[in-house]
Each structure stands twice: as structure tokens, then as C-alpha cells.
Amino acid sequence: MKIDNYNFAGKKAIVRVDFNVPLDENGHVTDDTRIRGALPTLKKILADGGSLIIMSHMGKPKGKVNPKMSLGQIKDVVAQALGAEVQFAPDCAKAADQAAALQPGQVLLLENLRFYPEEEGKPVGIDKADPAYDEAKKAMKVAQKEFAKTLASYADVYVNDAFGTAHRKHASTAVIADFFQPEDKMLGYLMEKEVQAVDNILSDIKRPFTAIMGGSKVSTKIGIIENLMDKVDNLILCGGMTYTFAKAMGGNVGDSICETDKLDLALDIMKKAKEKGVNLVLGVDCVAGNAFKNDCDTQICSVQEIPEGWEGMDAGPKSRELFKNAILPAKTILWNGPAGVFEFDNFTAGSRAIADAVVEATKNGAFSLVGGGDSVACVNKFGLADEVSYVSTGGGALLEAIEGKILPGIAAIKG
């Protein structure tokens, strides 16, 4: 079922959202992006005349009640964003009466789902090496089903709008869907947008397609690089990965971040790119610093000739030009990971050059998807989030989707 085609009038809808928002030490929300992200779905349900049961996790309480991770702390912020009063259920598994009493237009926020180990479905307090682990895991799966059934019993219809946890097979993100008929379960608007954005870069590709992979390590990105290799025309590998490649090619990378056990992997990626006709773009020069801090001394040098005591911390001017040339003509762009230590203001030039080129290509009609952790922080830092086609909200989920993995949260609804 598509949410747009569903009339929630008189229905109770249980909606899985990702309200895992950052809080300060006094429990105040410091960034409400995730709450705002779910509003179109939540407001549609209320506007139709439905009632809302909102459920989410917050933090990693590991199956135990932890007041510091209570969703009660964000009740008022949710109410303000929704423009509606919000009731709170202090125990998510004992909210049947509150849910039953809900009238159209009313909202109930459930306490943190992860206060119950059943949400994640992993046995607690038992080591994987323990011979009893398998039994404990089986028992936990049964308990997880029961927990999901309890949540499902509160409502007539299930909506999943939590892309951030779509890669997890948890009670509220996947198992619960089994308790609803196909016409009574659906993705929310945010999820639909994320799924569409991933589809644009994995299936419905307009060429040329340029992927920009940055960040610190090649080892954490290898699954994505391999999947993209079959799809892209240009593959820019930047950030800390640069120095593993430079070293693999026989260069001296000084004190740069470098995975010496991944040199063969780097050479293999280069070979595969050649075989598949992918234009692999690697940085040739860098801004090196003599200490890992913003106000260190800097010099521009070849990535192959970084002096001892210096480390490559950003892309140099020649590299930026190479990146720009591979981005500007693109009609499909994926950007994951910064080109340098962008958290330090003196090392943002590489990431900024990429961001500017992505924005320009977008203006010229490209579809650009920015996502996965730090690249989002990066476009936000530059104030350019509104000038790319789509900024994904789901870090790990987006990366797994790009790796080509089926996301359980989506499969549970779409089959």
C-alpha cells in the first residue's frame, strides 16, 4: 500500500520513526532534524482523522531501562513540531489501554523500544562463545515475535518511516509487519523518498554517473566500492583512503593515515577499475600538516612524497581540479565521505571543492545524493544541503542499500 492512497480516518496507526535525536546533558534536543523528517507522515495521519501511536528507539540502552535515554524527554519537542498534544506511555509493552483510549487526532508516544531486549532480538548477558547461546537466541526470537505482536495489537495500520534503522531486523522495524495485512502496512513519506533516491543511483541511472567516496579508511568502504564498480563511469576515491593507494603505488606517505594491510586491496581496486572501464580518480597532491590539529603548519605536496612528520589532511589544488572535472559533467552523483579532515576549518578546501562541483552539476540537471555519516555533516557545515538533490538521513542503512543489500525494514513491507 502507498501512504498517499491510504485514508487513515478512524484508524489507529502505529508509526516507527527514528527519533534517536541528540540530547545535551540536561536532556534537551540539540538537533531536531529527525523529528522534522517524520512530520509529513505523522501530519498526514492526523489530517486524515486517524490517531497516532509513535514508536522509536533512542541510544543504546542494551535492553535495560535508562532514564537518560527516555523518550519522555522529547515529548514536548514532538508536540510542538506536530502542533498537537502528545501523551506518553512510560512502558512501550504495556500501553494497550492508552492506545485503546486514543481518539481521532490524538497522539501517543511510546517509551524507548530498546528498553526491551526483544526489540533488537539479541540475547543479553550471554556470550556468543557460550554453548547455550544458540538456545538463548532461539528463545529470544520467540520473545521478539511476542513483543512485536503486542506492539501490533495497539493499531489497525503499521507505517515504517525510520530509514535510519531499515537495515535492522528489529521487532518494530520488520517483525511487526507480519501482523498486518498487505493493505494495512506501508512505508512513510521519508522512507519512500529514501528508497526512490537509492533507486535513482542503483537502477534508474542517468549517465555519466560519478561516485565520490571519501572518509578515513578503504576497509570500511570496500563493499560499496565493489558494488559501485559495476555501475559508475567515474569513481573518485579521496580522503584518508588516498594514502593507502599512494603507498600501494610505492609512494612515501609520511605520517598519513594508511592501512598497510590493505595495499593489495588498493591495487586490486585499481586493476578492477581498469578492467571495467571505470575512470578511477585518485588525488595526486595534498595539503599536509605537521600535526593533527587545525592550526598546524601546512605544505602542499605530492601524495607520493609526503615527508616524515607530515600527514596528508586534505586534497591539494591539482586533486581538487581532477575531482571537479569528473563531477561537473555528471548526470548522477553519489557522495559519501569527506575529502579531508573537514572538521578542521583549515582542511575543508577539498570537501568544499567537491560540494561546490556537486551543487553546480545539480543546477545543470544532475541527480545528486549525499549521504552516509560525515558527508551530511559536511554539506551542512557549508550550508549547501538544500542545493543538492537529496541528503539521506540514514547512515548505515544508506551504505548497506548502496552495497546492494536488501534492507529488512523495506522487505518486510514490500515483500
Which one, 169 or 217, has the nearer CB to ligand AMP?
A: 217
* 164 is known as an active-site residue: no
Identified catalytic residue from 34, 168, 185, 247: 34
List 66, 220, 302, 346, residue binding ligand AMP (CB under 6 A): 220
If one asks whether residue 216 binds ligand AMP (CB under 6 A), the answer comes out as yes
Q: Which stretch binds ligand AMP (CB under 6 A): 112-120, 164-172, 200-208, 210-218?
A: 210-218
255 binds ligand AMP (CB under 6 A): no
Task: Round to whole Å and give the CA distance between 368 and 8.
Answer: 33
Alpha-carbon gap, residue 402 to 77, rounded angstroms: 33
The active-site residue, picked from 59, 72, 223, 373, is: 373
Q: Does 382 bind ligand AMP (CB under 6 A)?
A: no
Nearest distance in Å: CB 353, ligand AMP: 14
* Three-class DSSP category at 118: helix
| Catalytic residue flag (residue 49) | no
Asked if 34 is an active-site residue, the reply is: yes
Sign of CA dihedral 128, 63, 57, 102: positive
From 164, 188, 215, 394, residue interacting with ligand AMP (rule: CB under 6 A): 215
Nearer to ligand AMP, 15 or 286 (CB): 286
List the x/- string, 354-373, binding to ligand AMP by CB under 6 A. -------------------x
Q: Residue 184 is which amino acid? A: D
User: Among residues 11, 75, 145, 217, which one is catalytic?
Assistant: 217
CB of 105 to ligand AMP, least distance (A): 42
Residue 43 interacts with ligand AMP (CB under 6 A)? no
To ligand AMP, the closest distance from the beta carbon of 334 in angstroms equals 13
Q: How far is CA 8 from CA 13, 39, 141, 165, 172, in A?
A: 8, 15, 31, 24, 20
Determine if 374 is a binding residue for ligand AMP (CB under 6 A).
yes
Residue 338 exposed, middle or buried by CB count within 10 Å (0-12, 13-18, 19+): buried
C-alpha cell recorded at residue 1: 500500500
CB of 223 to ligand AMP, least distance (A): 13
Tally DSSP H helices, then E strands, for the chain. Answer: 14, 17
CB of 301 to ligand AMP, least distance (A): 13
CA angle, corner 392, sides to 202 and 188, nearest 5? 90
Which stretches within 249-289 are classed as H helix? 263-276
Spell out the residues 6+ positions from residue 337 whose beta carbon is closer than 8 angstroms to its own: 212, 213, 214, 215, 216, 221, 238, 239, 372, 373, 374, 375
Backbone angle region of 399, left / alpha / beta, with phi > 0 → left and psi within -120 to 50 → alpha: alpha
277 is catalytic: no
Q: Smallest distance from the beta carbon of 96 to ligand AMP, in angstroms? A: 42
Q: Is residue 159 classed as helix, strand or coil in its secondary structure?
A: strand
What 8-state DSSP symbol labels residue 61?
-
Site for ligand AMP in 282-341 (CB under 6 A): 312-313, 337-338, 340-341
The residue at minimum Cβ distance from ligand AMP is 215
Catalytic residues: 34, 217, 373, 396
Residues that bind ligand AMP (CB under 6 A): 215-217, 220, 239-240, 257, 312-313, 337-338, 340-343, 373-374
